[in-house]
Structure 1
Amino acid sequence: MPMAVRALALLVAAYALSPIDLIPDFIPVLGYLDDLLLVPLGLALVVRLTPPAVLEAARARARQAADKPISYTAAAVIILLWLGALWLAARWAMAAMGI
């Protein structure tokens, strides 16, 4: 992957995640319009500048990852752990407020 393309990808990601915009979001319509235009255009430019061999290797890895088995039991355990943590946090918050 060429360094210029990597730098562009990092800049696009940094702009997408940054709280600082070219046009502030509180300005009606225009505030979000820069995000809706610049981020997709930047991503499209990164994909266009990425060498075909790199894209094909990434697609092959994605196909391989999609073929891995899925464990619904593990997903259920993780969801139950999160629900338990939320329940404990709610009880703690209610106790702290005296409810």
Structure 2
Amino acid sequence: MGKIKAWAKNLKRQLFTLFFAYKDERVPVFAKIFTTIVVAYALSPVDLIPDFIPVLGYLDDLILVPLGIWLALKMIPEQVLADCSTRADEKMKLGKPKNWTAGIIIIFIWLFVAVWIGTYFI
């Protein structure tokens, strides 16, 4: 259980690092766009795949988010990561920010799907 907690804490630290990195002007444009999407989704209070759906509900939390974080970290220059990592350590002491913009977008996606299914089957 200790390894899982350490892995989760490290993942959280990496997410905070990316939170600062996507705002840095030294990050290439493509990496900035990808990192913005990863951070927005990871900090969103609403999941694209709700957790109550068996197996698939936790797929994004266990596979997609860590994979996105890993890929984003590979795209960012080392010096930027070092600077942002220092800032992330300070931010972690204050708690996790929420990204309600991404949450609202995900809610609209679910509403669109519900309306589409409703009109298709009714």
CA RMSD, Structure 1 to Structure 2 (Å): 2.4
- The one of 39, 51, 65 equivalent to 1:25 is 51
- Please tell me the residue identity of whatever aligns with 2:80: V
2: distance between equivalents of 1:52 and 1:42? Answer: 17
Identity, % of aligned positions: 47
Partner of 2:64: 38
Calculate the TM-score normalised by the size of structure 1: 0.51
Query: CA offsets per residue over residues 50-86 of structure 1, 9 Å max, x none?
Result: 0122123334xx28x77xxxxxxxxxxxxxxxxxxxx
Q: Specify every segment of 5 or more residues in structure 2 that has no aligned partner in the other structure, as ranges.
A: 1-26, 91-122
Change in 2 beyond 3 A, CA 1:58/1:20:
closer
Calculate the TM-score normalised by the size of structure 2: 0.42
2: distance between equivalents of 1:4 and 1:18? Answer: 25
Partner of 1:55: 81
Alpha-carbon distance, 1:20 to partner:
4.3
Alpha-carbon distance, 1:41 to partner:
0.7
Query: CA offsets per residue over residues 15-63 of structure 1, 9 Å max, x none?
Result: 2215241x3322112211222111111111111110122123334xx28
Structure 1 consecutive aligned stretches of length 4 or more whose deviation exceeds 6 Å:
none
Partner of 2:37: 11
- Please tell me the residue identity of whatever aligns with 1:19: V
Bigger CA radius of gyration:
1
